[in-house]
Amino acid sequence: MLNGRNLCLDTMAEVYDMLKPWIDHEFWNLGDHDIVPNSIYVLGRQQVVEWKDRVRDMCQDPSIQVVFANSAEGSQTLIDQCDRVLGLADLIQTGRLLLISGGALPGHYPSLLHEHFLVRVLDYDENHLAVAQAQEIYRRASKPYKFLFLNGRARPHRRYLLQVLDQRGVLEHGLWTMLDGRCVDMKDFSGDAGNHVIRHLPSAYEFFKYRSFTRTDEYPHQFIKSSLFAGEWGDIYLSAEPYIDTYFSLVTETVYALPYSFRTEKIAKPLAMGHPWICAANPGFYRDLRNLGFRTFQDIIDESFDKIENHQDRMDRIADLVTDICGQDLAAFLREAEPICKYNQQFLPEFIREHRKDFPGRFQSFLRSHARS
């Protein structure tokens, strides 16, 4: 039990393992489950999608507190899911439905932050094998590419950075991808919103499970990530070679337009590999990462762009920074960045242990602070 109430937990919820010791009832299909009064229900995304009407009825019962655990989404992406896709905004904003989010949310969304991606990147044996090769990043001084730039969905800030770096002649020095050739709404940016040619990693750099994908230089304008990764969460896997053969990563996080950080596997991977990085994200992303205990490169590069609220101006400053670094002695840059990267690489497992250990207590406090009268 938790706080004197039954804990009923969806076995597919992303926080299941951390709350398992306190379970009174568990289920994998809410439709076949008899609702238990005086209970806390923690539901994953699939239950809410399939049984939305039943979830709404549960939220009307004052003896039941329903928690929607969707930490694989965060910030703007979770807001869009709850409001536009699932139609749950009224329940959330009146406190009848609480959230577990992967990113920070505005104050009128009662939510508990769980760093779903940072704590999962080292859950895979394959990733530990890649991390074991990370020292080769610093042993190999001469590399075929200057930076690693991996992009999946064609979000506006990614498309904009690709175009700007290409116009400057910098992109040709990067090992880069764009797995989405569809047009995109460039509302915050100047630039071409139309269809683009897809680009994936050369086979030698792809994670070994996905090297059998049929590869050509051009595709119809579509989103190919599901086909490339055979419907799996292929983004989470680490392959050492792209990091060994580049001097730094240019990371484009999911969220860029809200002042609420959402850290995904995109930043978790260079942290785990001990690879220098520059991150294009929301304003305050660097500040929030430092507040978690990680270090950034503020003594080596100008990170003042993290405070720029205008999105195009922030991305332009990042493009300037990438351009400048690519013109430097990159072997020297790598040596200077190594102590920070090593610290983050060693701190990450400690962060994961503490975050998981603290989660049940944080969850109980969260429930108490949002108890329904």
Reported pTM: 0.94
Q: Looking at the DSSP assignment, which residues form a beta bridge with residue 279?
A: 251
The predicted pLDDT at position 125 comes to: 97
User: Could you give the C-alpha distances from 189 to 154, 265, 309, 310, 313, in angstroms and in order?
Assistant: 13, 25, 13, 10, 9
Length of the chain as a residue count: 373
More confident residue, 170 or 228: 170
Question: In the sheet that 39-43 helps form, which strands lie side by side, from edge to edge?
Answer: 25-27, 6-10, 39-43, 64-70, 97-101, 111-113
State in Å, rounded, how far the first CA of the chain is from the last one: 19
With bands split at pLDDT 50, 70 and 90, how would you rate the model's confidence at 373? low
Report which secondary-structure segment, H or E, holds 130.
Answer: helix 125-132
Please give the DSSP secondary-structure letter assigned to residue 116: T
- In contact, 236 and 121? CB cutoff 8 Å: yes
Q: Is pLDDT above 60 for 218?
A: no
What is the identity of the amino acid at 200? H
CB-based burial of residue 138 (10 Å sphere; 0-12 exposed, 13-18 middle, 19+ buried)?
A: middle
Q: What is the pLDDT of residues 93-114, one digit of tens each?
A: 899 999 999 998 888 899 999 9
Q: How far apart are CA 325 and CA 156, in angstroms?
A: 23
Q: What is the pLDDT of residues 253-268, one digit of tens each?
A: 999 998 889 999 999 9
